[in-house]
Amino acid sequence: MSGVILDKVVKRYGAVEVVHAIDLTVEPQEFVVLVGPSGCGKSTTLRMIAGLEEISDGTVEIDGRVVNRVAPKDRDVAMVFQNYALYPHLNVADNIAFGLRIRRTPKAEVLASIEEVAGILGLTEYLDRRPADLSGGQRQRVAMGRAIVRHPKVFLFDEPLSNLDAKLRTQMRAEIKRLHKRLGVTSVYVTHDQVEAMTLADRIVVMQDGHIEQIGTPMDLFLNPVNTFVAGFIGSPPMNQIEAIVEGGADAPRATFAGQSIALPKLDELSSRVGEKVTIGIRPEHAKIEPAGADAISVELDLVETLGSEALLHTTLAGNPFIIKAETGGDVEHLNQVTQFWAGPETIKVFDGKTGRAFGHPATSYQGGS
């Protein structure tokens, strides 16, 4: 099995640089998800691995071989496209077999491969159909079938679920995960949807403006975002961010904002920052409404969104929106009365007010959610 190594990879269009010297190592059999807002360079990076975009600078290695000037077809990678790119004039079987036939695979082998892949993906009864006669989920499966039939070294996925409705997306997500478990092929997956990234990835790569912001396991990113961007991108709803001023010393650091104050985790870096501006981050899951301790923060409740077992409390704190995720316990009435919350110092993240970089990496235990 084979990995992918990106070494200072740059993409330029004329004078405009859209991907800036990216370093990334994808381990064999690993499932890595590139996530970020549109225009962050994630698709371009994927397409450079595929060979669909030229690499302006740096090197891409697949399975120990530098592939910068190797044609896509000779890289032994397969790709699932956002719009699936299923050939409308061919039926499912011929779509799956297209790559094998182009490579002049013996007939018997082609037929066996089609059958095998169709079996894995549950497409056996649809082999004669044209793409136009398939549902969105089935088309998605055919697109994957076309990729796995060639037994490539690496799978590349370019936003493969974004054309599906929410329910199918959840379903196909699980299916991709199961398929990866079964086949164990190194995979690089691009999406703008952080939920997809969290659920699918062994490791997530968060990108912005052609840079990698952070690489880590989903839990890592959730608990220890390196900066405000990652904090605001990962998690649903994302981390609340409040601008505040540091007070107190290294023993009992606090942050004040709009006449309120909250205890911060004991971080070495904070001692030298007294009086400076910081951004504090509190995950909606970490904001507790009961019992309200002594260190409670008052908020103004605007709206309660009930999701069932949980509810999102949309509140205003110091003029900014602040979201609290609370358990309903089967009754939302009491949530309408909420006026304050508290958060344990160990769950609070502190970011530099100017650069947005996170201070320290305190060992936090996960307490949020339910």
Partner 1 sequence: MNMNLYSRGDKTFVWLNMFLVTLFTLSTLYPFIYIAAVSFSSGFAASSGKVVLTPINATMAAYNYVMNEPQFWISYRNTFIYTIGGTIMSLLFIIPGAYALSRPQLYGRRFWNLMVAFTMWFNAGLIPFFLNMRDLGLLDSYFGIIIGFAVNGFNLILLRNFFENIPQSFEEAARMDGANEFQVLWKVYLPLSKPAIATVALFCIVSRWNGFFWAMVLLKDDDKVPLQVWLRFIISELQDDEEFSSTLVDAAYSFETVSAAIIVCSIIPVLLVYPFLQKYFNKGILLGGVKE
Partner 2 sequence: MPDETRFQRVLFVLRRDWQLYLMLAPTVIWLLLFLYKPMYGLQIAFKDYSIFRGIAASPWVGLEHFHTLFGSDQFVRAVKNTVIISAFSLLFGFPVPILLALMFNEILHKTFKKTAQTIVYLPHFISSVIIAGIVITAFSPSVGIINYLISWLGFEPIYFLTKPEWFRPIFIGTGIWQEAGFSSIVYLAAIAGVSPTLYESAVVDGASRWQMMWKITLPSIMTTIIIMLIIRIGNLLEVSFEMIILLYQPATFETADVVNTWIYRQGLQGGQYDLAAAAGLFNAVVAFVLVIAANSLSKRYSRTSLW
The residue ranges that bind partner 2 (CB under 8 A) are 56-57, 68-69, 71
42 in contact with partner 1 (CB under 8 A)? no
**Is the distance from CB of 138 to CB of 175 less than 8 angstroms?**
no
Closest approach of partner 1 to the CB of residue 13, in Å: 11
Q: Is 61 exposed, middle or buried (0-12, 13-18, 19+ CB in 10 A)?
A: middle
Q: Which H/E stretch holds residue 8?
A: strand 4-13
Tell me how far apart the alpha carbons of residues 131 and 127 are, in angstroms, rounded to a whole number: 10
Closest approach of partner 1 to the CB of residue 51, in Å: 8
Closest approach of partner 2 to the CB of residue 68, in Å: 7
Closest to partner 1 by CB, 33 or 77: 77
Q: Give me the residues paired with residue 241 across strands.
A: 281
**Is the distance from CB of 56 to CB of 12 less than 8 angstroms?**
yes
Partner whose binding site includes residue 110, from partner 2, partner 1, none (CB under 5 to 8 Å by kind): none
Integer CA distances (angstroms), 98 to 85, 113, 122, 145, 166, in order: 12, 12, 19, 11, 30
Closest approach of partner 1 to the CB of residue 73, in Å: 4
Q: Which of 4, 6, 34, 79 binds partner 1 (CB under 8 A)?
A: 79
DSSP state of 27: P
Partner whose binding site includes residue 69, from partner 2, partner 1, none (CB under 5 to 8 Å by kind): partner 2
Closest to partner 1 by CB, 73 or 334: 73
What are the strands of the beta sheet with 4-13, ordered from one edge? 16-26, 4-13, 57-62, 65-66
Site for partner 1 in 101-120 (CB under 8 A): 102-103
Q: Number of residues interacting with partner 1: please give it, by CB under 8 A.
A: 22
Closest approach of partner 1 to the CB of residue 200, in Å: 21
Closest approach of partner 1 to the CB of residue 21, in Å: 24
89 in contact with partner 1 (CB under 8 A)? yes
Closest to partner 2 by CB, 10 or 258: 10
Binding marks (x or -) toward partner 1, 117..156, rule CB under 8 A? -----------------------------x---x------
Tell me how far apart the alpha carbons of residues 176 and 82 are, in angstroms, rounded to a whole number: 14
73 in contact with partner 1 (CB under 8 A)? yes
Burial letters for 30-54: b for 16+ Cβ neighbours within 10 Å, e otherwise?
Answer: bbbbbbbeeebbbbbbbbbbbbebe
| Amino acid letter, residue 188 | V
Q: What is the dihedral of CA 282, 284, 290, 291, to 10 degrees?
A: -20
State the residues that interact with partner 1 by CB under 8 A: 50-52, 71-73, 77-79, 81-83, 85, 87-89, 98-99, 102-103, 146, 150
